[in-house]
Amino acid sequence: MYKTYVRLERVTGSVVAVKTNDAANRELALITWPGGSSLAQVVRLEADRAYLQVFAGVRGLPTDARVRFLGRPMQVPGSDALLGRIFDGAGRPRDGGPSLDEEMIDLAGPSVNPAKRIIPRTMVRTGIPMIDVFNSLVESQKLPIFSVPGEPYLELLARLALQAEVDRIVLGGMGLKHDDFLYFRDTLDGAGALTRTVGFIHTAADPTVECLLVPDMALAVAERFALRNERVLVLLSDMTNYADAMKEVAITMEQIPSNRGYPGDLYTQLASRYERAVDFDDAGSITILAVTTMPGDDVTHPVPDNTGYITEGQLYLRGGRIEPFGSLSRLKQLVNGDTRDDHRAIMNTMIQLYAAYRETLEKRAMGFRMSEWDGQLLRYGEGFEARLMDLDVDLPLEAALDAGWRLLADCFERTQTGLPSALVERHWPEPA
């Protein structure tokens, strides 16, 4: 039986202090008072005083609340019973189902030994041509989706959750609007994809501290699945909310801010989460896609900037489409060499032609005369946007490559594209 303490010495921000001699660092405690209860975690120990971060916030917390230390750090269940379930940021069921307490795992465990990692070599097919063809996602990759608020990034995440060819999806929502949460749930449920999914959802109305737990819970569960030889895709949204929660907590704890109010360890905090992406040498893998909204479309903002240094490329979402310029999967060359012989050539040529189309658009806007070539490019560009870039397009890689050839044949002569002749011979479609 654990000892109970009944006097809070201090309440500041979301942190309370209690006089005790037997608390351990990062230990979990349960705080109860007549009006409610909350979990709390030890964040600092000083002589006979323990500082606890209260997950549910401190509003309405009386100084005579009862504090009971639980003798363990924060944990999350790791059994298969998780599948199809949705929890909140403190690990409580959000779907009306029973709480789970099987196979509990500690959050933020030790990191993977680099000697147990392998160079990733398996592509994650998503059915989204802008990813599969142009920026192939690779198992164990961590990619942010840089987006301005208002872009359909949740729709994109939902599509990925439905279509990605992986065994398990772990969803982490941070600061989601409640509507968005419902949209997510209903979309996955409607398509029958909920059964391979676990969700940890913190909504904007929930206490800030709970937001901080979401990535750790999602990744701890993902790690457990991966060790059981499963390919796991972790979808996170929105990492900027997560960083803002960190900022809020750091400042209330009187830490010295470094850049625009964010704590000095922002990079380390983000990296230690993203680095959980892994391809084990003899088990499964974790792949991470994380929405990072860019305040003011500014990629030099501390959150996207630090993220860019951590992740292996990035996808830009602009104008409702995945932008071909700037988006980059750094690992794509590990996998796109052995998909189909025309993959790399189509990838490069179609982007070059699309860039030429953009230049033509500028020329047209400035009132220059359009040549015949310009006319072809205009037709190509519009076709490219409608047939491949549109987020609603759902094509397997091979079909997307074929659609690319079809589009090229619709707009150009065989000799105009600069594609290697051998590939043109093999793939150029007959006129429709």
Partner 1 sequence: MANVGRIVSISGSLITAAFEQPVVQNEVAYARLHDLRLKSELIRVRGRYADLQVFEDTAGLYVGARVEFTGELLSVELGPGLLGQVVDGLQNPLPALAEASGYFLPRGKYLEPLDREQRWSFTPGVREGDTVFAGDALGTVPESEFEHRIMVPFGLAGAWTVRSVVAAGSYTVEEVVATLEGAKGQSVEVSMLQRWPVKVPIRAYRERLRPSEPLVTKVRIVDTLCPVARGGGACIPGPFGAGKTVLQQLMSRHAEVDVVIVAACGERAGEVVETLREFPELTDPRTGRSLMERTVIVCNTSSMPVAAREASVYTAVTLAEYYRQMGLQVLLLADSTSRWAQALREVSGRLEEIPGEEAFPAYLESVVAAFYERGGTVRLRDGSEGSVTVIGTVSPAGGNLEEPVTQATLKVVGAFLGLSRERSDARRYPAIDPLESWSHYGGVVDAADVSFAQRLLRDGNEVAQMMKVVGEEGTALEDVVRYLQAEFLDASYLQQDAFDAVDGASGAERQALVFGDLVRVLRPPLAFDDKDAARRFYQYLTQVTKDWNRAPWQTPEFEAGREQVRTLVREAGGDV
Residues at the site binding partner 1, with contacts judged by CB under 8 A = 21-27, 44-48, 73, 109-120, 140, 227, 255-259, 264-265, 267-268, 271-272, 274-276, 278, 280, 283, 300, 302, 305-306, 308-310, 312-314, 328, 330-331
Task: Report, in Å, the least distance between residue 290 CB and partner 1.
Answer: 15
Which residue is associated with the tokens 């504090």? Answer: 67
End-to-end CA distance of the chain: 78
Task: Report, in Å, the least distance between residue 46 CB and partner 1.
Answer: 4
Contacts of 4 (CB under 8 A, 6+ apart): 66, 67, 68
Nearer to partner 1, 27 or 132 (CB): 27
Nearer to partner 1, 32 or 268 (CB): 268
Task: Report, in Å, the least distance between residue 304 CB and partner 1.
Answer: 10
What does DSSP say about strands 285-293 and 231-237: parallel, antiparallel, or unpaired? parallel
- What Cα–Cα distance (Å) separates residue 154 from each residue in 91, 159, 218, 387? 22, 8, 17, 21
Which tokens in the block code for residue 80? 């298969």
Nearer to partner 1, 30 or 310 (CB): 310
Which residue is associated with the tokens 């501290």? Answer: 209
Task: Single out the residue of 357, 342, 320, 337 nearest to residue 428, CA to CA.
Answer: 342
Nearer to partner 1, 203 or 285 (CB): 285
Task: Report, in Å, the least distance between residue 125 CB and partner 1.
Answer: 20
Angle between helices 266-274 and 302-310 (to 10 degrees): 40
Report the alpha-carbon distance of residue 378 to residue 361 in Å, rounded: 8
Task: Report, in Å, the least distance between residue 153 CB and partner 1.
Answer: 20
Nearer to partner 1, 4 or 25 (CB): 25
| Half-sphere exposure in the Cβ direction for 359 (13 Å, CA) | 10
Angle between helices 178-190 and 153-163 (to 10 degrees): 30
Q: What is the DSSP letter of 193?
A: -
Nearer to partner 1, 248 or 275 (CB): 275
Contact criterion met (CB below 8 Å) for 315 and 146 = yes
Task: Report, in Å, the least distance between residue 49 CB and partner 1.
Answer: 9
Task: Report, in Å, the least distance between residue 325 CB and partner 1.
Answer: 8
Task: Report, in Å, the least distance between residue 50 CB and partner 1.
Answer: 8
Contacts of 176 (CB under 8 A, 6+ apart): 184, 201, 202, 203, 204, 237, 238
Which tokens in the block code for residue 16? 């309370």
Nearer to partner 1, 354 or 428 (CB): 354
Task: Report, in Å, the least distance between residue 105 CB and partner 1.
Answer: 12
- The CB density around residue 228, as the number of other CB atoms within 10 Å, is 14
Task: Report, in Å, the least distance between residue 85 CB and partner 1.
Answer: 26
Report the alpha-carbon distance of residue 221 to residue 215 in Å, rounded: 10
Nearer to partner 1, 90 or 277 (CB): 277
Strands (E), 47-97: 49-54, 66-69, 75-77, 86-88
Return the SS3 of 427: helix
Which tokens in the block code for residue 19? 């006089």
Which tokens in the block code for residue 239? 């990492």
Which residue is associated with the tokens 């400042």? Answer: 251
Nearer to partner 1, 10 or 116 (CB): 116
Task: Report, in Å, the least distance between residue 38 CB and partner 1.
Answer: 20
Contact criterion met (CB below 8 Å) for 28 and 53 = no
Nearer to partner 1, 291 or 395 (CB): 291
Nearer to partner 1, 155 or 265 (CB): 265
Return the SS3 of 86: strand
